[in-house]
Structure 1
Amino acid sequence: MIIQLKGKVTYPITLDASVWIFDDRKIILEEAFTEKEVVQEEDPLKKADEMFNQEIYFQTKIKPPVNKSINRYEKEKILENSFVMPLEDFINNAEVKPEAKRALLKTDGDDIVITVEQLTDAYLLFAVDGKPLKEEGPVHLYFRDGSNKEAPIKNIKQIIIK
């Protein structure tokens, strides 16, 4: 369940998909590709105030956000759904070097090359029906635009930024 993210990054990191089920950043697979309705803010002062409060909140809280306790409803929801994790936070934390342009996805089969932008704007499927991916795992990569929704990149063992 461990995936290494290394290469042209300041901080190589190890991704442990087995603990993501408790992470607040996870998204239900079916909801990941639906369009969210964008609400326009009329008052720029209100928006600036919200952004300031959000920044103060993030500076005082522990990262990554993790559920402190899970109630019965949430436990049932976890066991019934398939989940993806957005990669953007992990890529940003690794600090990809400016000269890096591609990402090599090492799999059990053929290695796949995508752009760093595609990687940053992607999801990793890590749980189906609340269970970790045993076969064709530990993760599957989906592009956020849903272009490979029917044929995700499977068996990813390592991500090397080039």
Structure 2
Amino acid sequence: MERIILIKGKVKFSITLDPTVWIFDERKLDLDTYFDQQEKETNELEEYTKSISKHWDREIIEGAQIPVANKPEKKFIKETLITGSFGIRFQPFLDNAEPFDDAKIVIIESAEQEYTLPIEKAKDIILGFSANGKPLTEDGPVHVYLNKESKNEPIKQIKGFRIE
């Protein structure tokens, strides 16, 4: 049970997080490059519309193309998964827990101490769950990166999150 993390407290739904399955989640972030990237705001609907429009235009002009198996790309993706360091944003999990209106803070419970931050700042948290292709078994199950500047100083040995 030590691999499981709970989001509890002043929330409509208590959430149980299992970091061992996040490697299959499409929302995962590559921590090797994430902290070096410039933050840019994107409108997901607008990006999706542009990509679909581009695809539609290409099919109208060039005609449909038969998909071709791209084995080298699959091999690259597999290599990245078994050697990379990954994380995932905390915000979707916090949103799904639906904090009550009077909830103002998130308490990060670690084995050593508790860390308190406002809910708005907690939405920027990145949960690191893999380092060099391996789960964080010794000081995990996740590392908490509070912001992009905390790349080298994550909070470790996380036991859970409490909303108050």
Give the TM interval when normalised to the shorter protein: 0.7 to 0.9
Residue matched to 1:6: 8
Cα 1:134–1:120 shift into 2, 3 Å? same
Q: Which structure is larger by alpha-carbon Rg, 1 or 2?
A: 2
Residue matched to 2:61: none
- Report the TM-score when normalising by structure 1: 0.77
Q: 1:153 aligns with which of 142, 155, 158?
A: 155
Unaligned runs of 5+ in 1: 41-45, 54-69
Cα 1:37–1:73 shift into 2, 3 Å? same
The separation in 1 between residues aligned to 2:102 and 2:121, in whole angstroms, is 16
Residues 124 and 141 in structure 1, CA contact (< 8 A), matched pair in contact too: yes
Unaligned runs of 5+ in 2: 53-72
The separation in 2 between residues aligned to 1:20 and 1:88, in whole angstroms, is 15
Letter in structure 1 aligned against 2:162 = I
The separation in 2 between residues aligned to 1:115 and 1:38, in whole angstroms, is 22
Name the % identity: 36
- Report the TM-score when normalising by structure 2: 0.76
User: Pairwise CA RMSD of aligned residues?
Assistant: 2.6
Residues 124 and 140 in structure 1, CA contact (< 8 A), matched pair in contact too: yes
Letter in structure 2 aligned against 1:155 = Q
Residue matched to 1:105: 108
The separation in 1 between residues aligned to 2:126 and 2:33, in whole angstroms, is 12
